Structure 1
Amino acid sequence: MTAPRTTTTRTFAARTQGNESVIHDPLTGLTHRASTALGSGRVRLSGTDVGSWPEIHPAAVHADVPISVCWSPLVRCNLACPYCLDDKSVLELGRAERYRIANLLAESAVLGVDISGGEPLLLRDLPELIDVLVAGGCAVSVTTNGTHLARRAEALAARVDAVRVSLDGPDAGRHDRWRGAGSFDQAIAGIRAAIAQGIPTQIQAVLLRSTARVSIRAMVALAATLGVSGVTFLQMLPIGEGAAMADGEQLTDDEALALLAELSSTADVSVRLRTREAAGGFTVIRADGQIWRNQPGAHAISSLHPLRTTSDLALTARDGSA
């Protein structure tokens, strides 16, 4: 909701369209439009400048392939979040197949790849997979629960463009209730290690009806204390294991927007909301190599087909993609 206050230059991915450029921000996951042509591929830009450019929904770009994708190369996780979007019955592909998918994404016109899971830091070859994507011109982020981030931050620092750490509460009592004893302290240690290594770092938090109102301000205060680049509050999606909680815990987009509007515009960190509407049409590549897309409004997710060639990423009006 508030504009980023950092003037730090960091890596984005750009695509030229006529006299303008479309910019993917790996830290926030947002798409921006610049009024000047900035070239195509990985570019170094001011975070302040990019944050001031108009934000657009990826569907408005009318691209042939997604602006960005979420790639979940594994379903394994050391935690068990009750609203997890992943399908634990999906089989994980082997190492060779992971590299095949990384190379396909690198060869495509996709600007951004967020590596998620499961817990991506459980992958020993994660740095090498990032290298493949970066060599192809992608901006790469990793979304993690943070529990293994402290020990892996140094190896990621020279590679990844951003890290997003998921928290369920602003303190151990509220966070560990959902994720297990000790997980908060480990995540905070991971955030501090990532910042110390110079990795652009953001906190992500899923809004739940039972906790949002009492935790949201404290989460922003924690982010300011830690020195992260911002906080993104995510609307809960009724997908995967989270479907069982949806009736009791989902906020409407209007309710979530009203909650965030109560935050002071003078917050010391950038604060934004990813609504369910904004998540509609988003492309996910699961651990078995199958492409899925959120339906409009992100009230469900649909399986499309395996990712075998770059043409399998093509967007169509029929699948409601963005």
Structure 2
Amino acid sequence: MTTSTGTSGRASACRMVCCGTRGATGVVYDPLTGLTHRTDDPTLAGRTALAEEGIAALPEVHPGELGDTTPVSVCWSPIVRCNLACPHCLDDKIVPEPGRGERAKVATRIASSGVLGVDVSGGEPLLIRALPTLLDALVDGGCAVSVTTNGTHLSRRAEALARCVDAIRVSLDGPDPQRHDRWRGEGSFAKAVSGIRAAIAHGIPTQIQTVLMRSTTAGLPAMVELADRLGVHGVTVLQYLPFGEGAPLAATEQVPDDEALDLIAALAPTPVPVRLRTRADAAGFTVVRADGQVWRNMPDTSAIAALRPLAGPTSLAVTGRDGSA
């Protein structure tokens, strides 16, 4: 379960979530945080606007505890390309990238699969010209939709995204240009911050995501202060996972979960919500690659389960005892 500290000081507002059932449990998926909540309200179904404080008051539940074969949410990476070259990237850059038609087919399959939420990532998804069309397909299918981006193209695309996305998650690796640009390249911090401001100005619920590494732990307090100044809804601290191009950094950059929990606890109280996604939280999470192949994090999050094609709406079902597809 994610550990969090702090409460939102933002004005009370409603945000779009997606509600459904898994097993015998009513659940609410929050696209802003990526969290799944348990609910006893049988009237909640489909895409629903709920008050921010109402969402936060619902108890969290790990999707793996719900006893259902269909994931609550998935991460879809419809693009491999990225305008940055971050050394800790989770993606495998040798994956073939689909054309526009194949992306549309994958969007339709995901939308009809019964998942409640989709986080569209990459690569850098804002490089896809037809991104709003893909997002519309997911929303029309009843999903709550977020986009995870490095933020460098967000300023120019925020207005168009505001009509078709429920939340934006912007990746930052440091609270200032010196610490962020070390990882993502010169000028990337200024562009990301400009993008965050544009998203908020267009009314998109926005949060900061930061990968926790040995090299970035000292910047956490300042990151929370930055989030407060920018007016975002919160900060999610993601435990480093040894996948993709970033796998070689694991030996030097991984922080144990117990140490990460202590780091987050030491931040309290915070002016915005701060959440930690531990490695245990990431166990079993489902990813749809750019080539339409599906994989899941193994239970210990040290590797991914075997790939299988997203051939139809049932392809996302969990069938293996280890949570594999």
TM range, normalised to the smaller chain?
over 0.9
- Does residue 263 (structure 1) correspond to residue 262 (structure 2)? The answer is no
- Does residue 42 (structure 1) correspond to residue 40 (structure 2)? The answer is no
Alignment of 1:147-296 (within 5 A): 147-212=152-217, 214-265=218-269, 267-296=270-299
CA distance in 2 between counterparts of 1:194 and 1:181 reads 22
CA distance in 1 between counterparts of 2:44 and 2:21 reads 6
Aligned residues: 320
- Does residue 124 (structure 1) correspond to residue 129 (structure 2)? The answer is yes
CA distance in 2 between counterparts of 1:112 and 1:4 reads 24
Work out whether residues 3 and 51 of structure 1, in 8 Å CA contact, stay in contact via their aligned partners in 2: no
* Secondary structure of 2:271 counterpart: coil
| Equivalent residue, structure 2, for 1:303 | 306
TM-score (norm 2): 0.96
CA distance 1:41–1:79, shift in 2 (3 Å): same
Which residue identity is paired with 1:191?
A: I
CA distance in 2 between counterparts of 1:18 and 1:317 reads 17
Work out whether residues 31 and 145 of structure 2, in 8 Å CA contact, stay in contact via their aligned partners in 1: yes
Alignment of 1:68-107 (within 5 A): 68-107=73-112
Which residue identity is paired with 1:61?
A: L
Which residue identity is paired with 2:285?
A: F
Work out whether residues 82 and 127 of structure 2, in 8 Å CA contact, stay in contact via their aligned partners in 1: yes
- Which of 49, 62, 66 matches 2:71? 66
Q: Deviation digits for residues 61-94 of structure 1, max 9, x if unmatched?
A: 1122110000000110000111101000000111
Once structures 1 and 2 are overlaid, which stretch shifts more, 109-118 or 53-62?
53-62
CA distance in 2 between counterparts of 1:168 and 1:3 reads 21
Q: Deviation digits for residues 170-213 of structure 1, max 9, x if unmatched?
A: 0001000111110000000000000000000000000111221x
Which residue identity is paired with 1:297?
A: D
Once structures 1 and 2 are overlaid, which stretch shifts more, 141-150 or 255-264?
255-264
Shift, 1:34, TM fit: 1.1
Give the superposed CA RMSD. 1.4
Shift, 1:100, TM fit: 0.6
Shift, 1:40, TM fit: 2.1
Shift, 1:20, TM fit: 5.4
Work out whether residues 164 and 201 of structure 1, in 8 Å CA contact, stay in contact via their aligned partners in 2: yes
Shift, 1:147, TM fit: 0.0
- Percent of aligned pairs sharing the same letter: 61
Work out whether residues 35 and 60 of structure 2, in 8 Å CA contact, stay in contact via their aligned partners in 1: yes
Which residue identity is paired with 2:226?
A: L
Work out whether residues 167 and 203 of structure 1, in 8 Å CA contact, stay in contact via their aligned partners in 2: yes
Shift, 1:304, TM fit: 2.4
CA distance in 1 between counterparts of 2:132 and 2:318 reads 29
* Secondary structure of 1:128 counterpart: helix
Which residue identity is paired with 1:276?
A: R
Which residue identity is paired with 1:309?
A: G
Which residue identity is paired with 1:133?
A: L
CA distance in 2 between counterparts of 1:293 and 1:64 reads 13
TM-score (norm 1): 0.96
CA distance in 2 between counterparts of 1:46 and 1:293 reads 32
Work out whether residues 286 and 295 of structure 2, in 8 Å CA contact, stay in contact via their aligned partners in 1: yes
* Secondary structure of 1:42 counterpart: strand
Shift, 1:97, TM fit: 0.8
